[in-house]
Amino acid sequence: MNILVTGGAGYIGSHTCVALLEAGHTVIVADNLCNSRVEVVDKIKQLTKKEVIFYQIDVTDIAAVSTIFSNHSIDGVIHFAGLKAVGESVEKPLAYYYNNLVSTMILAEACQNYGVRRFVLSSSATVYGDNTVPFVETMNLLPTTNPYGETKAMSERILNDIAKANPAFSVSLLRYFNPVGAHESGLIGEVPNGIPNNLMPYVTQVAKRKLEKLRIFGNEYPTVDGTGVRDYIHVMDLAEGHVAALDNLTEGVHIYNLGSGNGTSVIELVKAFEEANGIEIPYEIVERRPGDIASCYADASKADRELGWSAKRDVISMCRDSWRFENNKE
């Protein structure tokens, strides 16, 4: 199939391009490079030895999006392009609502205009809010604590309504848990902007001695050791989940958790990183981070049942591959 991958130069998008190309699909990337670099597209080609068609465009630009749809016979869209920094979304809500919602609407409209029936959305486990773990797709969603999370919940609702009105439209809403790791080659991975907010990129920078020590946000949560529990998923497993979602997409709206189904605490992740890479990670316990929840992990059985997909790579591989990329990146 010819797949339009918006945000394909970004972290999850680039790994998904590799998985798509390896599965025999043709990939057209649309990215404005606001949080990525064009060199990533060359790395995807280098890794797969396949061509990638690249458009440097903003997917909120209706004319630019239409040009892509008229230039190519597109079979499906995977929509990764978006802004994703939770803290920044509180400071710049309009930029987040505009970018993340207008892009979804413009792409959905282009799909209608050009008869494209497959649409896969990057959603997030954040839409569950502070629910009871494990999170199951059938749960009622709770409010998120920030505009970023709201853009994901709203994008899901928009696509739901469009699919209701257009029964031939097939939509997959993929709720990611915590993507970490990098391609096993060390050629592509996550490049955070400035000081990282998320745990794994922070840990790799402490390991690199770019940052002095990890600050663990609270150790009195009701969890195994008092630190926050999350469901870390290797980005290549996540990428392969997209291929499975696309290959199995049928009419209507389908929601899938893409997680490992396992909860790992902050201290367990630190220990796994130390074991995987033989490097000590100094840390101190500090105040809780506002907006954090104690535990978040998936019931990942629906994706296994319906898509034949489950996460294969363990936390040790995630730590090893994150560290390899940290050492390889320019």
Binding site for ligand NAD (CB under 6 A): 6-7, 9-13, 30-36, 58-60, 80-84, 99, 103, 122, 124, 176, 179
Nearer to ligand NAD, 35 or 170 (CB): 35
154 is an interface residue for ligand UD1 by CB under 6 A = no
Q: 279-298: which residues touch ligand UD1 (CB under 6 A)?
A: 289, 291-292, 296
Helix, strand and coil content of the chain, in percent to the nearest 5, comes to: 40, 20, 40
Q: Which of 11, 55, 148, 256 is catalytic?
A: 148
Instruction: Please report whether residue 207 would count as binding ligand UD1 according to CB under 6 A.
Output: no
Residue 59, binding choice from ligand UD1, ligand NAD, none, Cβ under 5 to 8 Å by partner class:
ligand NAD
Compare residues 9 and 300 and give the one whose CB is closer to ligand NAD: 9
Which one of ligand UD1, ligand NAD, none is in contact with 86 (Cβ closer than 5 to 8 A by kind)? ligand UD1
If one asks whether residue 273 binds ligand UD1 (CB under 6 A), the answer comes out as no
DSSP state of 288: P
The CA distance from 18 to 24, in Å, is: 10
Q: Residue number with the shortest CB distance to ligand NAD?
A: 10
Q: How far is CA 234 from CA 70, 76, 176, in A?
A: 35, 24, 11
Give least dist CB 130 to ligand NAD, A.
Answer: 17
Q: Which of 155, 142, 167 is nearest to 255 (CA)?
A: 155
Q: Choosing among ligand UD1, ligand NAD, none, which partner's interface includes residue 289 (Cβ < 5 to 8 Å by kind)?
A: ligand UD1
215 binds ligand UD1 (CB under 6 A): yes
The encoded tokens of residue 123 equal 């959603």
Nearest CA to 312 among 250, 248, 239, 252? 239
CA distance from start to end of the chain: 33
With tokens 């590799």, the residue in question is: 18
Among 86, 116, 133, 159, binds ligand UD1 (CB under 6 A): 86
For residue 251, give Cα distances in angstroms to 79, 109, 160. 18, 17, 12
221 included as an active-site residue: no
266 binds ligand UD1 (CB under 6 A): yes
Q: Which does 31 bind (CB under 5 to 8 A by kind): ligand UD1, ligand NAD, none?
A: ligand NAD
Residues 45, 17: Cα–Cα separation, whole Å:
9
In three-state secondary structure terms, 77 is strand
d(CA 217, CA 289): 6
56/282 with CB nearer ligand NAD: 56
Q: Which residue has the tokens 């390889």?
A: 328
For 87, 172, 247, 303, the CA distances from 244, given in Å and listed in that order, are 32, 11, 5, 9
- In terms of CB distance, is 105 or 226 closer to ligand NAD? 105
* Contact residues: ligand UD1, CB under 6 A: 86, 124, 126, 149, 178, 197-199, 202, 214-217, 228, 230, 266, 289, 291-292, 296
Report, as residue numbers or ranges, the catalytic residues: 148
